[in-house]
Structures are given as C-alpha cells and as structure tokens.
Amino acid sequence: AQKITQTQPGMFVQEKEAVTLDCTYDTSDQSYGLFWYKQPSSGEMIFLIYQGSYDEQNATEGRYSLNFQKARKSANLVISASQLGDSAMYFCAMNSGYSTLTFGKGTMLLVSP
Amino acid sequence: SQTIHQWPATLVQPVGSPLSLECTVEGTSNPNLYWYRQAAGRGLQLLFYSVGIGQISSEVPQNLSASRPQDRQFILSSKKLLLSDSGFYLCAWSVYKNTGELFFGEGSRLTVL
C-alpha cells in the first residue's frame, strides 16, 4: 500500500522568499511517480510538477522544484520567490504502475506582502 | 486542447433526496475518468474511477454510485443523500494508462441539510 504524509498543516512565507513544503512517502514499489498539485480557494486542482523514481535530476518547473531524496523517501516542493498568488492548498501525491493517485492531506500556504 | 467540465457548481440538497453530478471531457478519446471527494480540511478521497464505457471501479463502499454512459461522460449519483455526503466533489481525467497526471474539473460543492 502507498502512503503520503504531509506534516505541515499550514505554512507562512513572506512575498519574494522561498518556501519548502514537506512530503514523505511510503511504498514497496521500485518504480513510482511523485506529484504536486495546487488548490487555490476556487477549488480547482492544478498539476504543478512530477518526479519519476528513476529520474536522477530533481524536477523543476519555473519557480517550482522538487527536492527528491530517494533514500529518505521524501519529495519536498520548493517554491522560490513566493508570490501572493501562491497562497493555496498544496497536495503531494504518488502512484506506481497503473495504480491511481494517493494524495496527502495537504499543506495550506499563506503568502504575506 | 482538452477541457473538462462538471456541473452543477453548487448544490444544496435535503437528506434523503437524490443526487446527480455530471462531468464531461472534450478533446481527447478513451480517457481514464475519476470522481474524488474532499471533505472540509481534508485530502482527496478517490470514490470511483473508470477506464472505459461501463467499466467502473469503486474505492469506497457508500451510498453513491457512478456511471459512464459515453466515452467522455462520467456521472456521480445517489438515490438518497446522507448528511455525511456533504463535501467538494471533483471530477478528473487522465490519459489512458497514465494514472498520474490528472486534469481536474472546477468542482461541485454539495451541502446536505
């Protein structure tokens, strides 16, 4: 069985600073994928970034990067130069093979001016 | 380009009444389709997913059901709503055999009174 743990219910960051949202996972599969989604107050879920378990490089997408530490089973999301529009709920998720995604409980990020 | 729409956006229903939420995808063929529920302050719970017309997998036993009458149409139903059915319902699709990167609809907020 797969499990995703996000230990930070809420995080605060000032505009233009970087922030790290934690995610640890548990799986017995060797091949798996890790994902981050953003949910603004409107409710829609937006895909941000993906990391494959065999990818040697950390994934990056613009201001988002995934700090993948396989031995520690962690897949933290780093947002650089935070913007007010980054205030949202962030979910870490994983899957393996053709299994459906397992989501964590999320971290609420608030960016202050 | 692909789009996904679900409706209604907001629904207030009395206990014991029926429910029908509809989701349609455009611009792609043979998608995987999903229904998730998000209770207040919690993560996403997968309710149903479908890999083809008439093929429905249920993840959580409950008084909800799902149907896929057409390739790009996914319907969530209930004959008699319970208070515990209140929540935010999200429809999503993914490319066939790719269960990782999900594309979500706008969501439907259901309040059962």
The neighbouring-strand residues paired with B64 are: B78
* Nearest alpha carbon to residue B7 among B113, B109, B112: B109
Residue B101 and residue A45: Cβ atoms within 8 Å?
no
Residue B91: its pLDDT value, please?
97
Residue A45 and residue B42: Cβ atoms within 8 Å?
no
Q: Which residue of B has its CA nearest to A93?
A: B100
The neighbouring-strand residues paired with B81 are: none
pLDDT confidence bin for A1, thresholds 50/70/90: confident
Coil, strand, or helix at residue A3?
Answer: strand
pLDDT confidence bin for B99, thresholds 50/70/90: low
Taking residue B23's Cβ as centre, other Cβ atoms within 10 Å add up to: 26
pLDDT confidence bin for B89, thresholds 50/70/90: very high
Taking residue B29's Cβ as centre, other Cβ atoms within 10 Å add up to: 9
- Which residues in chain A are contacts of B59 at CB distance < 8 A? 100
Residue B106 and residue A91: Cβ atoms within 8 Å?
no
Distance CA A94, CA A33 (A): 5
- Which residues in chain B are contacts of A43 at CB distance < 8 A? 88, 90, 106-107, 109
Residue B61: its pLDDT value, please?
65
Mean pLDDT of chain B: 92
- Which residues in chain A are contacts of B34 at CB distance < 8 A? 100
Residue A113: its pLDDT value, please?
94
Q: Residue B6: is its pLDDT beyond 70?
A: yes
List, in sequence order, every beta strand (DSSP E) within chain A: 3-5, 10-14, 19-21, 24-26, 33-39, 46-52, 60-61, 64-69, 74-79, 88-95, 102-103, 107-112
What is the residue type of A20? T
When mean pLDDT is compared across B4-8, B37-41, B75-79, the lowest value belongs to B37-41
pLDDT digits (tens, 9 = 90+) for B46-65: 999 999 998 999 888 678 99
pLDDT confidence bin for A97, thresholds 50/70/90: confident
Residue A43 and residue B105: Cβ atoms within 8 Å?
no
Distance CA B110, CA B113 (A): 10
State how far the alpha carbon of B113 is from the alpha carbons of B4, B37, B41, B64, in Å: 29, 18, 19, 17
The shortest C-alpha distance from A64 to chain B (Å) reads 16
